[in-house]
Amino acid sequence: MTSGFIVAGTDTGIGKTVFSAALAGTLDYNYWKPIQAGVEDETDTQAAKRLSGLEADRFLEPAYVLKTACSPHLAAEIDGILIERDRLGLPETTRPIVIETAGGLMVPITRTDLQIEVMRDWGLPVILCARTVLGTINHTLLSIEALQRRQLTLHGIVFIGDENTDNERTICELSGVRRLGRLPWLTKRDARSLRAAFLAEFRIEDFR
């Protein structure tokens, strides 16, 4: 039976891929980004390969790669691709897996299916990535409420960005969800620097 974590975010572009690469690389897990929307520079899977230090065979191929950088439901329509929920089933792996979602929890992947509903199908614990900047309290508490209403297991919150002690404390106190740590923005972003930052800010036992 497949085990591991779903890495989700309160929004898009907040650093999920960087954290997912750090987590997979440090724990020696597999990585999977089921839906990739936007391929102009490098895909999230390619970035995770570069940043994790893992061998190429540890990365599962996305179920869908969409050219347009926008919500999956619209990107698929623009590209003339039909996203089928059955193709997004949890893969069977002999090694635990880190699954990185597309965008925020309520992002539509089709006109009838939300990202959070597919996450519920997978049944794995969720690590929620949140910004540290202004607005994060509202976005994060709403995301936590959405997860709890659908009875998904929330393993904890990861903050990404510059230190903002009160925002982090307020979110965790109001929600009752544990803080796993904070991943700072890195001036040098490679596998070695990312691994060092992860080990400095997080406890491995919190993910076992």
Which residues carry out catalysis? 33
Q: Tokens 């997978």 identify what position?
A: 122
- Strands of the sheet containing 30-32, edge to edge, are 59-60, 30-32, 97-104, 4-9, 126-131, 154-160, 179-183
* H-run or E-run covering 7: strand 4-9
**Token digits of residue 187:** 């001036």
Q: How far apart are CA 40 and CA 42, in angstroms?
A: 6
CB contact set of 51 (below 8 Å; sequence gap of 6+): 17, 18, 21, 22, 25, 189, 190, 191, 194
Is the distance from CB of 12 to CB of 80 less than 8 angstroms? no
Between helix 16-27 and helix 191-201 the angle, nearest 10°, is 80
Q: Determine what percent of the chain falls in helix, strand and coil, rounding each to the nearest 5.
A: 40, 20, 40
